[in-house]
């Protein structure tokens, strides 16, 4: 499976929930932690991650998978190609479920498309989902104006909730102001 979309939308969280529902152990690795400055070591790290997950019966979750599956057409060095080749080979033969997450699906090598049985896009919260996220994080009713916010994810609500706990008692308008700041800090067009 590939879960892709903006940061904070719950990609890794859902992957962990699926593993839990399947009763599988969870192994989370990030692309950057598997990469090495030594030629051939990244490929060995990829192979080890898949082998260990198979031996443990674990669901493997590759967070930030775009760093391991970058489009080979833009590669400048041979090891960049061999790293993607190694990842694709293991993806093809791995017998257990695995999930790759990325914020940058457009940067993935085209050969990844047929390796994923499910390709699921995560997006920012809709107006209805904003109210549900509010209710999950804050004990007070949402103020007018919440549904007008765009480009918010579950992770934004979690951040603001932590911020409000740190600052002490928070009023709905203060929470809304912080969520507005979160939305304004994002790059791109509206929902």
pLDDT tens string, the chain, 191 residues long: the values are: 999 999 999 999 999 999 999 999 999 998 778 887 787 788 899 999 999 999 999 999 999 999 899 888 877 776 678 888 899 999 999 999 999 999 999 999 999 988 999 999 999 999 999 999 999 999 999 999 999 999 999 999 999 999 999 988 789 999 999 999 999 998 764 44
| The pLDDT value given to residue 158 | 96
Distance CA 93, CA 111 (A): 14
| The pLDDT value given to residue 189 | 43
CA 168 to chain centre: 30
**To 10 degrees, the CA torsion angle through 129, 131, 132, 133?**
90
Distance CA 26, CA 89 (A): 21
| The pLDDT value given to residue 10 | 95
Provide the token pair at 129: 């989902």
The bridge status of strand 25-30 relative to strand 2-4 is unpaired
SS3 31: helix
Task: Give pTM, 2 decimals.
Answer: 0.85
| The pLDDT value given to residue 188 | 62
**To 10 degrees, the CA torsion angle through 19, 8, 30, 87?**
80
Distance CA 95, CA 50 (A): 10
Residue 47 has, within 13 A of its CA and on its CB side, a CA count of 9
Provide the token pair at 141: 């009713």
């Amino acid at each position: 499976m590939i879960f892709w979309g903006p940061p904070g939308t719950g990609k890794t969280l859902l992957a962990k929930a699926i593993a839990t529902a399947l009763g599988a152990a969870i192994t989370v690795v990030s692309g950057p932690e598997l990469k090495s400055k030594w030629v051939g070591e990244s490929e060995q790290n990829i192979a080890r991650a898949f082998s260990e997950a198979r031996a443990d019966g674990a669901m493997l979750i590759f967070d930030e998978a775009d760093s391991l599956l970058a489009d080979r057409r833009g590669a400048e060095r041979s090891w960049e190609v061999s790293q993607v080749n190694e990842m694709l080979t293991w993806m093809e033969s791995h017998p257990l479920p695995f999930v790759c997450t990325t914020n940058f699906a457009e940067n993935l090598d085209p050969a990844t498309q047929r390796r994923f049985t499910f390709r699921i896009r995560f997006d920012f919260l809709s107006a209805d989902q904003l109210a549900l996220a509010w209710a999950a994080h804050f004990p007070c009713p949402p103020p007018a104006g919440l549904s007008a916010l765009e480009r918010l994810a579950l992770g934004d609500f979690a951040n603001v909730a932590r911020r409000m706990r740190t600052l002490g008692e928070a009023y709905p308008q203060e929470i809304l102001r912080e969520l507005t700041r979160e939305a304004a800090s994002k790059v791109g067009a509206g929902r």
